[in-house]
Amino acid sequence: MPRSTSKYKLYLYIFFLIFLTSIFNFKFLDNYQGMFSLKKININGVSYKEKKNIEEELSDLKNINIFKITDNKVLEKLAKFNFIESINVKKIIPSTINLNLSKTSILGRTFINGDEFYIGKNGKFINSNQIYQKYNTPTVFGEFQIKEFLKLYNILNNQQLKINSVEQYYFFKNRRWDLVFSDGLILKLPSKNIINSIKIYKKLLDSGNLKNTKIIDLRVIDQIIVTNKND
């Protein structure tokens, strides 16, 4: 009989030991998981209001285990912000993520279905509602793909044309461009051989004989049509 009582006490002791150990383990796991849940997101490289919009977009990542938050998950959530050109994601263990962002250069603005959009150097149309800064950029008219504008922009830039002097771009259905400069001069470019046409325009510009010129028409290859302001 005493031996049975001793066994009973031993089993009871083991039971309580397992019970208390389990409680400790559960609490330890809860604390462990809480230690590595995302608590803070630091965002650098954008304005205060832009930062607030990004924070709101990322808010549902808070309190998730930081090891379960992949870089791709963060990038997917930031994809809607077209003004961002590059993103660097850095996890600071145990509970912080640092985001270093760089904004794209704004090359122009246009209107799509009545809404204002900026044209980013990153090849994206950026709704003006996303950006809390006004840019003094040329206006681009017509139904164009952004890659077509970037192609023209790069040609003008590579030919060292003063792009800042262009106030308006007009794109036509036959895939050619008109440029309107700040002095009122209109340059009509062909749909092909744009580089050669720009070189011709630069020679005319260097000649110093364009002071009274209103339109330079280079749409026809090997032909220059100049219209004076008084005509």
Residue by residue, pLDDT tens for the chain (231 residues) are 455 556 555 555 565 555 545 554 545 444 555 688 999 999 999 999 999 999 999 999 999 999 999 999 999 999 999 999 999 999 999 999 999 999 999 999 999 999 999 999 999 999 999 988 888 899 999 999 999 999 999 999 999 988 999 999 999 999 999 999 999 999 999 999 999 999 999 999 888 878 889 999 999 988 999 998 776
| DSSP structure string for 170-194 | EE-TTS-EEEEETTS-EEEPPSS-H
Q: Which CATH number fits domain 40-103: 2.40.128.30, 3.10.20.310, 3.40.50.300, 3.10.180.10?
A: 3.10.20.310
Single-letter residue type at 96: T
What is the enclosing helix (H) or strand (E) of 216? strand 213-217
**Distance, C-alpha 70 to centroid of its chain:** 20
CA–CA separation, 144 vs 110, rounded Å?
Answer: 10
Contact yes or no for 51/101 (Cβ under 8 A): no
The CATH H-level (homologous superfamily) assignment of domain 138-228 is Cell division protein FtsQ/DivIB (3.40.50.11690)
Q: How are strands ordered across the β-sheet holding 96-103?
A: 40-44, 96-103, 84-92
